[in-house]
Amino acid sequence: MSRYLLKRLLLAVPVLLGVSIVVFTMIRLIPGDPALLMAGQAATEEVVRQIRQSLGLDRPIVVQYAYFIRNIARGDLGRSLFNGAAVTEELGQRFPRTARLALAAILVALLIGVPAGILSATRHLSWVDTFFMVLALAGVSMPVFWLGLNLILIFAVRLQWLPAIGHETWKHLILPAFTLGAASAAIIARMTRSAMLEVLRHDYVRTARAKGVAESSVISRHALRNALIPVVTVVGLQLGTLLSGAVLTESVFAWPGVGRLLVDAVLARDYPVIQGAVLLIATMFVLLNVVVDMAYAVLDPRIRYE
C-alpha cells in the first residue's frame, strides 16, 4: 500500500509544476500593470518604473519564475503587493473557511445525491426515477450565482429565516452550502443511479434475491458496495471542484474564504496572492485525487497490485 501511495504522490509533482508554469504565465498576460495600480493614475513614468523595479517585475519572466520556484521550495509564497501581508498567512486564515464550506457542500450533495440515485435505480423507469432525474437535470443546469441569489431573495429577504452574508454562526453556512452542493448532488445522483443499474443486472445480485435475501440487504451489502468505485471518483472530483468552485459562491454570500481572496487579488492584479491561491487549490485537488486512488485500493484490493 505504501508503494502505491508513493507512486501516486510522485505523479503529482509534475502536475503541480505544470500548474505553476501556466498560472505564472497567464496572470502576466492579464491586461493591467500592478505597479501602475499601486502608483495611481496620476503617477509619473519614473515612479511606476521604480515600483516595478522594486517588485522585480522588470526582470525577464524566466528569471521571475526561477525566483518564484526557489521561494516555494523555502515555503515562501511572497507578500501581497498591496497590503504587504505574507501570502501564506493570508491563505492560512482563509482556507479553513473555504474547507468548511466545501465539506458542508459535499455533505449536502451526498445526503441528497446518493439516496436519490439509489431510489432511481431501484425504481427504474417509474415516476420516482423520472422525478429525481428531472431534479438532477435542473441541479446541473442552474448557475451557482443564480441559485445563490434566488435563495437569498427567498430565505433571507422575504422569509427572513437565514442570514444572507457572513460566517459567524452555523446558520450562515446553510445557504452557501446548499448553493454550492446542488450541482454536485445532481451529478452524484446520476452517477449513483448509473452504477447501481449496472450492478443490479449482475448474476450475484439475482442469486442473492433467488436465495431469499431481503431486498434491503441486497441493495446495501451486495449492490451498493460494488457500485461505490465510480461514485467515489465523482465525490473526490466534486470535492476538489467545490474547493475551486467556491469562488462564485463566496462572492455571492460575502464568505471570507480563498475564493473571495482570489477574486479580490485578480481585480487588484496582486500576482503573489493569485499564484498562491491557485497553487493551493491545485494542490488540494491533486491530494484529493490521491485520496480517491487510495479509496479505490481499499474498496478493490486488486487495484493496489496493478
201: cell is 443486472
DSSP class per residue in 133-192: HHHHHHHHHS-HHHHHHHHIIIIIIIS--S-SS--SSTHHHHHHHHHHHHHHHHHHHHHH
pLDDT band at 231 (very low <50, low <70, confident <90, very high): confident
Distance of alpha carbon 306 from alpha carbon 302, whole angstroms: 7
- Express each pLDDT in 242-299 by its tens digit: 776 577 788 888 788 888 888 888 877 788 888 888 888 888 887 877 777 777 666 6
Share of the chain above pLDDT 70, in %: 88
Asked whether residue 304 carries a pLDDT value surpassing 60, the answer given is: no
What pLDDT is attached to residue 296?
Answer: 66
Q: Residue-wise over 107-130: b if at least 16 C-beta within 10 A, else e?
A: ebbbebbbebbbbbbbeeeeeebe
CATH architecture of 95-305: Orthogonal Bundle (1.10)
What pLDDT is attached to residue 138?
Answer: 83
Nearest to 298 by CA among 217, 236, 215, 208: 236
Determine the average pLDDT of the residues in 144-150.
85
What pLDDT is attached to residue 222?
Answer: 67
pLDDT band at 9 (very low <50, low <70, confident <90, very high): confident
Between 230 and 157, whose confidence is greater?
157
